[in-house]
Structure 1
Amino acid sequence: MIQIARITAYPLRLMLALFAAYAVYTIPSLLPRWGASAVGIPLLIGWLALAAIALPLAQGRWHGRRTWIALAAIVVALRVAALVLLWNRVPSADPIIYVQIASDIIAGHGLFFVDPRSNVVFLALYPPAYPLLLAGLGSVFGLGQVILSLSNLVFDLLAALLIVWIGDRAGSRAGGLAAAWLWLIWPTFVFATPFAQKEPLVAVLILAMILRLLRLRDHPVPAFHDGLIFGVLAGLLALSQPGLATLPATFGLFLIPVVGFRPLLILALRSVPVLLLVMAPWWIRNGLVLGHFVPLTTTGGLGLWIGNNPNTSGNWMPLPPGLAALPELEQSARAAAVAKAWIAAHPVDMLILNATKLVRSFAIEHFTLIRLTAVTPDFPVGITAVFLPLFQGALIAVLAATAALIGRARRIAHGDWLVLLFAAAMAQILIFDVWFEFAERHRYFTMPFLFLLIGFGLAAARTEPRVVPAR
């Protein structure tokens, strides 16, 4: 197992170094779009100072009630600042669409979305888990910015707690604390606090699955409740982010060298029936309203076209008018056919395009800037120039730190597990995800792995014997 994890760490380190190098190289190409402001440099320096707190946390030098109160105050203050910045500003795209869908569910109209450009009614375009959760929350508390911010804060804190538990179970609670701290201060996640978004929910589901998988280290024969919990989590993940429906299986395959085949097979046999039960209501509903079996959503064909056409960047883009006006199922099928025809005619271009999407998705951190330019009322001109150094600089720092520390992270008792889990996440992207709509926000689920590897790498320095030179 150690040999496999060590071999796996080499290409991961090389890939991360490539991403970090490209993140630096691409800065000049970002300036014409977002601008440049010296005001952003102090913001980046301030964030790096906060991120540096991960070192004493990882080495167990910061602890006690006052420390936790101070760190919690910083986490809350950052999110309050984001809320103040975005107060009474209405977002576009998914954040406002999720609120609209949830509002319709609360009003008793069901789960649907009407495209304002084409007036096409979509009944299964958006996966149901997050809109239903949002509807439940909104029916009690409303869906104002404060409620959305508090709900996202709760999910972020829950994810941070799971990261700490994962660190503890993998051999370093201190390393998990450092990783959780980085998670809670990551600029993109902080600025997303006032928006309706499914990413925090997705992160919690994935981290909870990892924690359940790590339990196999001490309990190699999964109990029935292990299968029950894992099946529910896997089903909810598929109903939250369909593109990651295969991620639980990918995790299992990559953990075979650690756990063995039999425990994972038992877990699969006990969790799959539960997963099917979780998915069944969605399948039945889709069959009734669409007259077809739709296992996940109708975005598959659209995502394939968005990811494979001459003008794509990997981000969402509108369909051509001839496709956009078609009914939901036909639209998805026709979009997939157009994409497949382009792929068949341009196989080399397709490979280059998707490789470019992969690198740029990991090497550019500007999705928040896109969101800031799409709110109403508009921000003053130049705000993106202020924040670009913060987002891109933080990304470069994390990529470089992970590349430098991934080998050291393996020195912690079960650090190899984290290497294999990160490798599984990258395999999920390379095998399944990058070929469709794939951009920066689609790799957010990998961020906890980067933070854990950094935390474990920093924690490993404390466990290494100190060599005192002879006098």
Structure 2
Amino acid sequence: MAAAIADFLDRRTPGGLLALALLLALAARLAALALFGDISPGVQIWEYGEQAQCAYRNGSDLCLRYPDESGGAYPSAYMPPLLSYLWLVLFHLFGDGSTARALFLAVNLALGVANVWLVFRLALALRLSRWAAFLAAGLMAVYPTFVFVTATYHHTNLAVFLLLAIVLVAARIARRERVAWRDAALGGALCGLAALNRSEMLIAGPALLGLGALWRRSLADVFRVGMVGALAMAVILAPWVVRNYLLFERVIPVAQSTGYNLWKGFNPYTNGSGNMTEEPPDGPGDAARDRIALSVPTGPRFETDLQDAYMAEFEAYMAEVPPGRLLELSLNKVLLLWGFDWTDRDVTGGIAYRLPWVVANLLALVGLVVLWRERRKLDGAVVALGLAALFLLTLAYVATAVHARYRMHIEPFLFVLAGAGAQALLAWLGVRFGGSGGAVRQPTS
């Protein structure tokens, strides 16, 4: 049976292997939607949906409800707005009901399947074999957290899609004989959309695009990519920035949540996990959060004053905390991100999370050894961009706070390593695709 499957895969073209991975991803995610998809009115749609829901019900722009349960609302830029405006469009077209939620899940499904395609493309761009690319994409297709998140209303699939798309566009800029204006414009537009979905991408996106331009070692090309990319990104961000300045009299390029995010990661109640600050309900972190929120008077400036209050708490803590505590928090955040958030037992405490985590990480370690041995055959630009993405995301989360779901932003890169490791393991077991079983292709001139 195993030999027959191996022979079947061995005869598939890259397009055929990609189609198999996409079908696998689609089937797994449709099953998750059938089992866990909830389109009822009370389902959690996160703050992105709540901002839009408040706007729709009040006939206004994005807003949120006061924490004192008074029923009043205040103007909000708390969350990056990309998904909030998608929700608002759906609400205006279909109402705040099951149809809007079902369509949102359909978009999420499309993004989840598209991410499998992007992982396949990333593996090929690195110069892995088509079978290693298939194994990497297959792992993404069936990995439980990525399957389950498609049945929820979180923005993880969109965040991963935009990150991988930026990396691939930057790699194309680095490798092409001449810089195409459309690549620079597309990269800038993707950076703008990514920033409107995740705050850290305001810096990480342009940094990755800039690295792709710098790889060309041409000042003129760096200037072209920088100017065109910056213009495209500015066009995407400008309406949101202007809106926020008119409302809050502050330059808010992405989200008005800096104070809270810093305090969430640096306070007496956490080990670096944002989960410890927010959970359990009525715990010390949650009580402190309520105390700060309820101390701010209501009004149009509520959100601005609330973030200032969190920032004041953060600054006071930083002024008195010993250096050892800061080092402890920073190291814990690295472990929480690159290992798993052991405080979030609802997510990471079960076998459905830990067993795939162990398998994927062991395969990634094997893949790392394999690719190190074959490093001269790899595409240097793609290697540099992948490492830069991992570094920038790690730095962003160490500077704020870590949640279990943040690891999903780095896992696609680990799946690429795992694909190479899986092919090497299969070769050791006697299953040799393409005759040799090598996970890395010979570079072409």
Question: How high is the TM-score relative to the length of structure 2?
Answer: 0.78
Deviations 1:166-211 (CA, angstroms, capped at 9, x unpaired): 3333323443332222112110121122211111111111111111
Q: What secondary structure does 2:251 align onto?
A: coil
Which residue does 2:103 correspond to in 1? 147
Q: How far did 1:315 drift?
A: 1.8
Counterparts of 1:236 and 1:136, CA distance in 2:
17
Farther-moved stretch of structure 1 (217-226 vs 436-445): 217-226
Return the letter of the residue paired with 2:415.
F
Q: Is the 8 A contact 2:21 2:134 kept in 1?
A: no
Counting only pairs closer than 5 Å after superposition, residues 374-393 of structure 1 correspond to structure 2 as 388-393=350-355
Sort the Cα spacing of 1:105 and 1:321 in 2 relative to 1 into closer, same or farther, 3 A: closer
Q: Counterpart in 1 of 2:404?
A: 440
* CA deviation string 1:192-242 (max 9, x = no partner): 222111111111111111111121244254222122111110011111101
**CA distance in 1: counterparts of 2:179 and 2:236, whole angstroms:** 20
Q: Which has the higher contact order (CA 8 A, sep 6+)?
A: 1
Relative to structure 1, is the Cα distance of residues 90 and 303 closer, same or farther in structure 2, using a 3 angstrom cutoff? farther
Which residue of structure 2 lines up, in the alignment, with residue 79 of structure 1?
A: 29
Instruction: Look up the SS of the partner of 1:297 in the other structure.
Output: coil
Tell me by how many angstroms 1:60 deviates. Answer: 4.1
Tell me which residue corresponds to 2:274. 315
2:311 alignment partner in structure 1: 336
Question: What is the distance in 2 between the residues matched to 1:358 and 1:456?
Answer: 25
**Secondary structure, in 3 states, of the residue corresponding to 1:242?**
coil
Residue identity in the other structure for 2:189: V
CA distance in 1: counterparts of 2:175 and 2:383, whole angstroms: 19
CA contact (8 A) 1:221 1:266 kept: no
Identity %: 22
Tell whether the 8 Å contact from 2:166 to 2:209 is kept in structure 1 after alignment. no
Give unpaired runs (5+ residues) of structure 2.
279-285, 297-301, 428-432, 439-445
Q: Distance in 2 between matches of 1:274 and 1:456?
A: 36
**2:29–2:148 contact (8 Å) kept in structure 1:** yes
Deviation string, structure 1 residues 50-89 (Cα, Å, up to 9, x no partner): xx99x95998455699987776554344334433433558
Match for residue 62 of structure 2?
A: 111
The Cα of 1:140 is off from its aligned counterpart by 4.5
Compute the displacement of 1:286 (Å).
0.6
- How many Å apart are 1:290 and its aligned residue? 1.7
Alignment of 1:197-216 (within 5 A): 197-216=154-173
Q: Aligned equivalents of 1:268 and 1:240: distance in 2? A: 21
> CA 1:56–1:271 in 2, change beyond 3 Å: closer, same or farther?
farther
Range moving further from structure 2, 313-322 or 148-157: 313-322
**Whole-angstrom distance in 1 between the partners of 2:200 and 2:253:** 12
Is 1:128 aligned with 2:78?
no
Per-residue deviation at 1:130? 1.1
Pair 68,333 (structure 1): closer, same or farther in 2 beyond 3 Å: closer
Structure 1 pair 253/441, CA: closer, same or farther in 2 (3 Å)? same
Aligned-residue offset at 1:351: 1.6
Shift of 1:96: 4.1
Q: Secondary structure at the match of 1:121?
A: strand
SS at match of 1:113: strand
CA contact (8 A) 2:191 2:206 kept: no
Structure 1 105/118 Cα, relative in aligned 2: closer, same or farther at 3 Å? closer
| Residue of structure 2 in register with 1:400 after alignment | 362
State the shift of 1:361 in Å.
Answer: 2.7
- State the distance in 2 between where 1:237 and 1:315 align: 22
Instruction: Say which of 234, 258, 262 aligns to 1:300.
Output: 258
- Residue 241 of structure 1 corresponds to which residue in structure 2? 198
Tell me, in whole angstroms, the C-alpha distance in 1 between the residues paired with 2:217 and 2:125. Answer: 18
Contact in 2 for aligned 1:409/1:456 (Cα 8 Å): yes
Cα pair distance change 1:101/1:334, threshold 3 Å: closer
Structure 1 counterpart of 2:293, which letter? A
Q: Which amino acid aligns with 1:155?
A: L
- TM-superposed CA distance for 1:309, in Å, is 0.5
Distance in 2 separating the partners of 1:164 and 1:67: 9
1:165 aligned onto 2:126? no
Aligned to 1:225: 182
Between 1:458-467 and 1:429-438, the stretch displaced more is 458-467
Counterpart position of 2:331: 355
Query: Which residue identity lines up with residue 199 of structure 1 in the other structure?
Result: T
Q: Which amino acid aligns with 2:260?
A: L
Q: Which amino acid aligns with 1:323?
A: I
Match of 1:426, SS state, is: helix
Code of the aligned partner of 2:304: L
Whether the 8 Å contact between 1:57 and 1:177 is mirrored in structure 2 is no
Could you tell me which residue of structure 2 aligns to residue 279 of structure 1?
Answer: 237
Residues 187 and 141 of structure 1, relative CA distance in 2, 3 Å threshold: farther
Asked if 2 retains the 8 angstrom alpha-carbon contact of 1:105 and 1:132, the reply is no
TM superposition shift of 1:324: 0.7
**Partner SS, residue 320 of structure 1:** helix
Q: CA deviation at 1:156?
A: 1.0
Cα pair 2:341 2:403 within 8 Å, conserved:
no
- Say if 1:141 and 1:147, in contact at 8 Å, map to a contact too: no
Report if the CA contact (8 A) 1:205-1:237 is conserved. yes
Instruction: Kindly provide the CA deviation profile for residues 408-448 of structure 1, in whole angstroms up to 9, marking residues without a partner as x.
Output: 23537435444323321232134333121222222321111
- Whichever residue aligns with residue 165 of structure 1, its letter is R
SS of aligned partner of 2:32: helix
Q: Is the partner of 1:434 in helix, strand or coil? A: helix
Shift of 1:400: 2.0
Aligned residues: 401
Q: For residue 384 of structure 2, what is the aligned residue in structure 1?
A: 420
Given that 2:18 and 2:134 are in contact with CA atoms closer than 8 Å, whether structure 1 keeps it comes out as no
Question: 1:452: which partner in 2?
Answer: 416
Larger displacement relative to structure 2 (182-191 or 453-462):
453-462
Identify the match of residue 293 of structure 2 among 321, 324, 329. 324
